[in-house]
Amino acid sequence: MSDSMLLVGQRSFFQLDLLDYQYPTANSSTVDLNRLWVAVRSGWWHHRSTAKAAVLYTYEIEQLLTWLRHLYQGGYSSERLLFADPSLSIECISVDADEFLLQVKLAFAVAPDWHTNPFFPFWLPVVVSKAKIGEAITDLEGQFARFPVRH
């Protein structure tokens, strides 16, 4: 089993685990064929939270991998990576030498337990090193190999 994709800094972390396809192949429509159950774990200071929800599609994992590879290879993008489900998004706020300031939007189904305002997302800041981005890419590639895009 592959490791979790983990973006970790001194005060916060974001962890993504691909759990399973939401629907078995035989019983799913073309639209939902590639929806994935994921576990999202987050931490900020002393707070910790875990949520499980079907909020990502397999092709969005490909997009996330491309986005992370671009960061790792020295590209800086101010583009926010948005997904079909508005519960989750990610962006790079700044790059300084070997560190990246990422912000992960956690809302609705994956909002952290400690975040009590359902009308506004929680923006999780994570200061992560280039080495940790590389590890996250490798880990997510391993998970994605188990849940490829289905046609």
Domain boundaries, the chain: 5-146
Distance CA 73, CA 95 (A): 12
Q: Confirm whether pTM is higher than 0.85.
A: yes
Residues 96-122 pLDDT 10s: 878 999 999 999 999 999 998 878 999
The pLDDT score that the predictor gives to residue 25 is 75
| Contacting residues for 13 by C-beta, under 8 A, at least 6 apart | 6, 7, 41, 42, 43, 126
The pLDDT score that the predictor gives to residue 93 is 94
3-state SS assignment for residue 101: strand
- Fold (CATH) for 5-146: Transcriptional Co-activator pc4; Chain A (2.30.31)
pLDDT at residue 28 greater than cutoff 80:
no
